[in-house]
Amino acid sequence: MPQRCTRVRCLAAAGAFVLVVWADAAERSGAVHQVGVRGGGLEGVVADNVANAKGGGSGFRSLFTQRYPGKPIYRADHVGLNFEHVFNGAAADKGMSMFTPRKDFCELLPRSDGAVTLRWPAERSSWNLDCAMTFSFADDAIDLAFEVTPRTSRFPLGYVAFMWASYLNRTRERCIHFIGRDGARTGWMTFGGDLADGFEKGTVSFDGVPDLPYEKEAQTLNLIEHPTRKFTKPFYCGLIDGDNDLATSDDTLAYIMMFDRSAPIRFAVWNFIKDSRGNPDPHSPAWDWQFVIRDPQPGATYRYRARVVIKPFVSLEDVEAEYEKWRATR
């Protein structure tokens, strides 16, 4: 029986219109491929791999704040909070180490107006993993809860890693900011800045965690860690342009990613979007993160929680206070 919808509306997304189904919590047939979610000062559209096949797969097809309605946080041609990769450092699995969560069957399960779950069942997973990510809106934040259960052992180097990507629409800069260490220097760090021959990109791991091993000929794009720069608190912040107009300066928003665990988490910055001259656009970076399970056991379930906060930027100290406030409630 087809699912009955209680509301249908169109959200403007960078000149395009997205048809949104607002589903009753009681009507969870799983037949919906995209759903509107909202809460507090945020409103967006979560899509599965079918609805957003051209934009990079499941995740937030659009996200707006009430402060700047119609000004998207994520790019309309890409996706935000997207489960993008699974990898294990094995050469034999090189082909599976890029984009399988975007290609595998994904089920969208509306929970309420402010919550939705994306689920990847093991029987239709390239890696034979049962995975689920739930998004729940709260104030100026989105709470994320991920869980995964391996059904077989396919991890010859003793770990499996998962990566999420967010393609930002208009940022003040490419960099993320976090508290960490770089050699003897400690305190606030940046990652993603300009270099003489390009810009910083790749992965930052937690201080003191061993580097992930990998075999020759393995897919290493998301594997290799920065050799000296490490984070010591599990959160980072980037600065986004609220009204999408870089000429204005009174609308900077803090985009804060925070996590309930430290050692299994890794931060990442990439910049694949090109500007009008064909160069990497520093105002459309990908601010990503990873979750690593060491010694994964078939049948065991592994979890982590995260929160995205989007609020007016005051200072980096205010960003840290936002993380500490959330940490105190867990």
Name the pTM for this structure: 0.90
Q: Residue 2 pLDDT > 70, yes or no? A: no
- How does residue 268 score in pLDDT terms, banded at 50, 70 and 90? very high
Give the tokens for residue 227.
Answer: 């050799």
Q: How many residues does the chain have?
A: 330
Cα–Cα distances in Å, from 131 out to 21, 26, 32, 271, 283? Answer: 24, 23, 19, 27, 32
23-329 belongs to CATH 2.70.98.90? yes
Q: pLDDT at residue 21 above 90?
A: no
pLDDT tens-digit map of 95-150:
999 999 999 999 999 999 999 999 999 999 999 999 999 999 988 899 999 999 99
Share of the chain above pLDDT 90, in %: 87
Estimate to the nearest angstrom the gap between the alpha carbon of 53 and the chain centroid. 17
- The CB density around residue 12, as the number of other CB atoms within 10 Å, is 15
Show the tokens assigned to 171.
């940022």
21 vs 60, which has greater pLDDT?
60
* Contacts for 316 with CB less than 8 Å, ≥ 6 apart: 177, 188, 237
So where are the chain's domains? 23-329
- Residue 139: predicted pLDDT: 82
Q: Give the tens place of pLDDT for each residue, 35-47.
A: 999 998 999 999 9
Q: Give the pLDDT of residue 59.
A: 97
pLDDT digits (tens, 9 = 90+) for 223-255: 999 999 999 999 999 999 999 999 999 999 999
Render pLDDT for 64-110 as a digit per residue (tens, 0 to 9): 999 999 999 999 999 999 999 999 999 999 999 999 999 999 999 99
The highest-confidence range among 52-56, 203-207, 278-282, by mean pLDDT, is 203-207
pLDDT exceeds cutoff 70 at 209: yes
